[in-house]
A and B are shown apart, each in its own frame.
Chain A
Amino acid sequence: LWETVTGSFASFIHAVQPEHLSEVVLHRSKRMILDSIGVGLVGSTTHVFDIALRYCQLYASNAVSSVYGKKGLKLSPTLAAFVNGVAAHSMDFDDTWHPATHPSGAVLPALLAVAQMLPPSAKPNGLDFLLAFNVGIEVQGRLMHFSTEAHNIPKRFHPPSVVGTLGSAAAVAKLLSLTRTQCANALAITASLAGAPMANAATQAKPLHVGNATRLGFEAALLAAQGMEASPLILDDLPGCSGFSAFYDNYQPKPLPLPANSHQFLLEKQDIAFKRFPAHLGMHWIVDAALSVRNLLINYAGSFSPALIRTILLRIPVSKYINRPFPESEHQARHSFQFNACTALLDGKMGVHSFTDASIHRQELKELLAKVLVEHPEDNIANFDKMYGEIALILENGDVLTGRCDTFYGHWRKPLSRDSLLKKFRSNASHVFPEDKVEAIITIVDNMENLPDSSYLASSL
């Protein structure tokens, strides 16, 4: 059955069923859901979240959806999705996929809000929820394969604002059980809401990209449910009149296979990276390299003595927005190879506290930063599947100690163990919840497939 690319996506979203979810996909997506929630909870303590929340409270009616970490406060569903999405990305602590985007934060908040919005007679169960979540992730992944540009660290548009918005629309369309035509319209309407430029990465506005992705995709699905129509060829290649291709320089869309009996989700073949500390993914390589060379220095000299170091040479891929020699704000610090390398060298670890104002402006850190030089080896490609991080400490006495990381712990090639993932979640969630609540959330997500009413998850946040 010859079909347009747009049509194939609509068919997929509409027709895919829980039975199509494999064990691996179920398992991986529950890990993503847990991590996303934890990251959102700790994110609800940030300044950017505070601004977004105060803003949304101006429009607070129809307040039925929960806000991460704010017991008793509810907002209208799309605004709840917005603030929770902002929370998820507020510290750059959320998951990253390949090709590069932050998939879960763009999808989960909207679904949680929808689950609370639906009437008691139509509450989706845990499996429905998991299915919708995976539809949202899958659509994002498929869209990113439409352009080779997407494989590398982005330069023009911030991927969550492009594919994330459509992923959210797809996920909400699924959870609301829209018709095939409505699914197609949801995608098309969303395209008119997608796209934020990279320049706002490393600023306080970046978290809004994920907040808006999840919210605007949600709004588009709601509009589609009301009968709004848009271009039926939005994902197809339209020379002379761009659809989704407007966001890319080269664009080769491919239809999704119809679920029929089995559908292979991208998540099955390509896992996600979870961050161990709240900074851009690229930082994780350089930190692991820094930690290893730090150990070498300690073995060499007995302790970590910055005075022994003449130069810190970083060998990193070329990517302007994460190359910052002297970051001034937490947002810049999270996007600075230099900052993350030096903090790891100095402290021997990285965590939420590495990015406080006090930590950022430490004198010892500034002294180390002044010793940093950067190199861009040709074989170090700006791509999360291929890049590496290497640090050479050139000592005053001429000796050179080198550390290198090809695959950091948490990367999809070396996934976090269940213990490590839970440790991260507990650490995050305990910023806003007591221990028993934290454990309760872990249990709910663990048993998601068996949950009779998924809005229970939302209201426990």
Chain B
Amino acid sequence: FPPVTENFAGVIHGLNASHLTDLVIQRSKRMILDTLGVGLLGTSTEVFHKVIQYSKTYSSDASSTVWGHLDFRLPPLYAAFVNGVAVHSMDFDDTWHPATHPSGAVLPALIALSEALTQKQKFSGPDLLLAFNVGIEVQGRLMRFSSEASNIPKRFHPPAIVGTMGSAAAVAKLLALDPFKCKEALAVAASYAGAPMANVATPTKPLHIGNAAKHGLEAACLASLGLQGNKQILDMESGLGAFYTDYAPQVLPTLKSYSWLLDQQDVAIKRFPAHLGTHWVADAASSVRKHLVKGDNSLPINGIEKIVAKVPDVGYMNRPFPNSEHEARHSFQFAVCTALLDGSISVQSFSDQNISRPQLRELLKKTQLEHPPDNKPSFEILYCEVNVTLQDGNVFSERCDTFYGHWRKPLSAEDLKKKFHSNASQVLSAEAAEGIMETVDNLEKVEDCSVLNAFLKGTQSAKVLEKICSF
């Protein structure tokens, strides 16, 4: 068998636009749109502000757009970093199976780089789509090298491992590196991979995606300058295998008729900014609420004796009294209570005010988690059951197996656009938001994908819009 590493390099190098299926194109455009929206919204977060301040220290020969900011630019490395942080800042970005957040690690790097090189080279929409999908595909394939990866992670945060590798692959594709350099890009990227789970539910978590994008970009650039690493990086246990306890790498399918993972396995798109596990909880809790409350009335908190949420056993999601937005986004209990109280969870649910509401704290005190043995910590099979016991003895129970937005029940095109619009309009004008939607919708036909950056900056010039919309 050929070494897996060499095989990956060959495929990264050899894939071209004709390999992209319609379904893959459609799904990846949805992912691109969602990621942009989530990133734009994320530029309003505190963590984003901190990384901006930090990155500005490197700002001169700046040549890439910071999403939502007309006022300054950054070198591509740092633009990829801050935009990646923005995408993951609120845990609002896409999730795949096996679990990782694929798009945020790849898209910011590609957009930043394509813009930086715009004087020397034009990248079309199809170029971007192809490179994007290479980045997604590589992540998916790498995750299948370990059965550990199928479950919600415990040791390393997946975006920091496969995301870094995916970013390197995507950039290698965009730069049209030869197979040798594609291989070296992967090898060098491995030395940047990996971040421990303990930083999840802290402000540093978004940096995992920012760094994945940044370091993958850096690795590919170093490879293109001739840097070499271990040519069997994917094959060896002391290579990418260092991050896993069981590691069984496999070669990619032949290019003759390439079968993309995204074709077989869609992503989940979040409806509100919190860990994916909370989406089952929210749907179950909202359903139970309907039994408890009629019309516009508020929840009879005092009438409730006990709330039980049956969820999988995931240590870092078990937070009875979260104190920060980052903790709240990673708390089953918070999700149950917010959905019961308000009927649904939204961006605003995580404001400081809402996190510390007395009514919410009341409900949290009555909430317990249970971990039925058949409820496995895998986004493919987990479920949530919410039982509310009233003072009068009545018990109401609802269960959610598949929330709306999960890959088994994908968001409609309309709802996806609604989410994007709601996010983007926090920082962009209506025209710019429209411009992005139009551009991504027609990405296969776009001649110069750096137009996305004009919109991402927030320029509202109608002239730009006109120029773009002449597909």
Contact = CB atoms under 8 A, between A and B. Distances in A.
A189 B202 CA distance: 10
Contacts of A209: 191
B190 A155 contact: no
9 contacts: A62-B60, A156-B237, A197-B193, A199-B233, A200-B239, A203-B187, A229-B203, A245-B196, A247-B196
Interface stretch (B223-231, B259-267, B448-456): B223-231
Contacts of A156: 237-238, 242
B156 interface: yes
A204 interface: yes
Given A52-B222, A59-B58, A228-B204, A242 B242 contact: no
Contacts of A188: 198-199, 202, 204
A62 B57 contact: yes
Contacts of A203: 187, 228-230
B197 interface: yes
B238 to A, nearest CB: 4
B196 A208 contact: no
B311 to A, nearest CB: 15
A51 B229 CA distance: 13
A156 B58 CA distance: 33
Given A52-B222, A234-B198, A242 B227 contact: no
B408 interface: no
A231 B199 contact: yes
Nearest to A225: B54
Given A155-B238, A230-B203, 6 more contacts: A55-B222, A189-B207, A200-B239, A209-B191, A228-B207, A238-B198
A313 interface: no
Given A226-B53, A246-B196, A200 B61 contact: no
A77 B200 CA distance: 28
B226 A192 contact: no
A241 B228 contact: no
B315 interface: yes
B161 to A, nearest CB: 9
B198 A243 contact: yes
A143 to B, nearest CB: 13
Interface in B176-211: 187-188, 190-200, 202-204, 207-208, 211
A205 B227 contact: yes
A62 B58 contact: yes
Interface string B104-117: 00000000000000
B243 interface: yes
Interface of B: 47, 50-51, 53-54, 57-62, 75, 77-78, 154-157, 160, 187-188, 190-200, 202-204, 207-208, 211, 218, 221-222, 225-230, 232-233, 236-243, 315-316
Nearest to B60: A61
Contacts of B60: 60-62
A107 to B, nearest CB: 19
B132 to A, nearest CB: 23
Contacts, number: 199
A200 B188 CA distance: 8
B204 A231 contact: yes
A382 interface: no
A452 interface: no
Given A193-B195, A226-B50, A200 B227 contact: no
A245 B202 CA distance: 17
B203 A51 contact: no
A161 interface: yes
A58 B112 CA distance: 14
Given A228-B47, A230-B199, A242-B155, A59 B77 contact: yes
By CB atoms of chain A within 10 A, which of B197, B198, B200, B240 has the most?
B198
Given A204-B228, A229-B204, A192 B160 contact: yes
A18 B466 CA distance: 65
B86 to A, nearest CB: 15
Contacts of B197: 241-243, 246
A67 interface: no
B196 A48 contact: no
Nearest to B47: A228
B191 A208 contact: yes
A365 interface: no
B273 to A, nearest CB: 18
Contact of A76 (B57, B157, B191, B207): B57
A246 B160 CA distance: 13
Contact of A193 (B211, B221, B228, B240): B211
B9 to A, nearest CB: 15
